[in-house]
């Protein structure tokens, strides 16, 4: 059984002190919760802080980005070994904002994915289509290409460890959302593609999660779709009570 992942992506929000307050409160709220993998992705400046506060709890920490080189003249970047030293366990790769605003491509996503796996970080690989691609009926074509190129030269055993986040770009922060059944169909398509490319074990073991205006109000319907194994949560993860409600709404999947 795939235990759901509920992941908070704070983006460029929260100072180190604000991160401490949030994480301490979340620790208290989830003290009796099991069968859910909880991950927080704070800004770089709060990574070590959140790792320290979350130590010994059910909360894991993710980085929002990583460079594919171990070190070098890359101002403003961070390497996988630096993240490992800080106690990070997961890393978000290829978020749509990185693709749109910082010109990330499937090729760079692939390089970041490889360096993450080499350094025993669990990648959270983001894929998804734009509004224009969605309206043109190209959603599945875009997803297929992102999977093919982003996972190039990754073996089946490595795919088993991945978390793949499907996030329709047009839904992020817009208040719009795919109907849960539609989101479920896209996730089923992704799992089918994984089966075709990497085999049964990889397709069954790989976690597929949904991102795009996930809220306490829609998490229950989303999480009950057979191929949706959790959520990548943006704005709704900035408030600890809202994030806790999303975690609570996922419990029915975690205990099935």
How far is the C-alpha of 93 from the C-alpha of 38, rounded, in Å? Answer: 18
- List, for residues 29-62, the tens digit of each pLDDT value: 999 998 999 999 999 999 999 999 999 999 999 9
Which structural domain range is residue 193 located in? 5-254
Q: What is the pTM (predicted TM-score) of this model? A: 0.95
Q: What is the pLDDT of residues 200-235, one digit of tens each?
A: 999 999 999 999 889 999 999 999 999 999 999 999
Mark whether 167 is an active-site residue. Answer: yes
> Rounded to whole angstroms, how far apart are CA atoms 177 and 113?
27
Regions of the chain with pLDDT less than 70? 173-177, 254-256
CATH number for the domain harbouring residue 20: 3.20.20.70
Q: What pLDDT, on a 0 to 100 scale, did the predictor assign at position 173?
A: 62
pLDDT, position 131: 85
What's the total number of domains in the chain? 1
- Phi and psi of 182, rounded to 5°? -65, -45
d(CA 160, CA 54): 26
Which pLDDT score, from 0 to 100, does residue 36 have? 95
- Per-residue confidence (pLDDT) for residue 225, from 0 to 100: 96
In the set 95, 129, 133, 187, the catalytic residue is 95
Is 207 a residue of the active site? no
- Of 97, 129, 133, 167, the active-site residue reads 167
Query: Among 251, 202, 190, which Cα is nearest to 223's?
Result: 251
Q: Long-range pairs for 78-81 at CB < 8 Å and ≥24 separation?
A: 78/44, 79/115, 80/115, 80/116, 80/118, 80/119, 80/121, 81/119
DSSP state at residue 170: G
């Amino acid at each position: 059984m795939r235990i759901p992942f509920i992941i908070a992506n704070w983006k460029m929000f929260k100072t180190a002190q604000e991160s401490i307050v949030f994480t301490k409160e979340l620790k208290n709220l989830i003290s009796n919760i099991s069968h859910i993998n909880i991950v927080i992705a704070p800004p770089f400046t709060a990574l070590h802080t959140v790792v320290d506060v979350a130590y010994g709890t059910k909360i894991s920490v993710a980085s929002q980005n990583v460079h594919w080189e171990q070190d070098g003249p890359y101002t403003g970047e961070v390497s996988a070994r630096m993240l490992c030293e800080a106690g990070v366990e997961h890393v978000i790769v290829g978020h749509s904002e990185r693709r749109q605003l910082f010109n990330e491509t499937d090729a760079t996503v692939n390089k970041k994915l490889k360096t993450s796996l080499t350094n025993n970080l669990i990648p959270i690989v983001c894929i998804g289509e734009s509004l224009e691609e969605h309206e043109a009926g190209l959603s599945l074509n875009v997803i297929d290409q992102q999977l093919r190129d982003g996972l190039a030269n990754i073996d089946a055993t490595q795919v088993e460890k991945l978390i793949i986040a499907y996030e329709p770009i047009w839904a992020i922060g817009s208040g719009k959302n795919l109907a849960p059944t539609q989101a479920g169909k896209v996730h089923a398509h992704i799992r089918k593609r994984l089966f075709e490319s990497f085999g049964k074990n990889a397709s069954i073991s790989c976690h597929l999660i949904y991102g795009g205006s996930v809220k306490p109000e829609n998490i229950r319907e989303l999480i009950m779709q057979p191929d949706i194994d959790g959520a990548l949560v943006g704005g709704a993860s900035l408030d600890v009570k809202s994030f806790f409600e999303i975690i609570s709404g996922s419990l029915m999947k975690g205990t099935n």
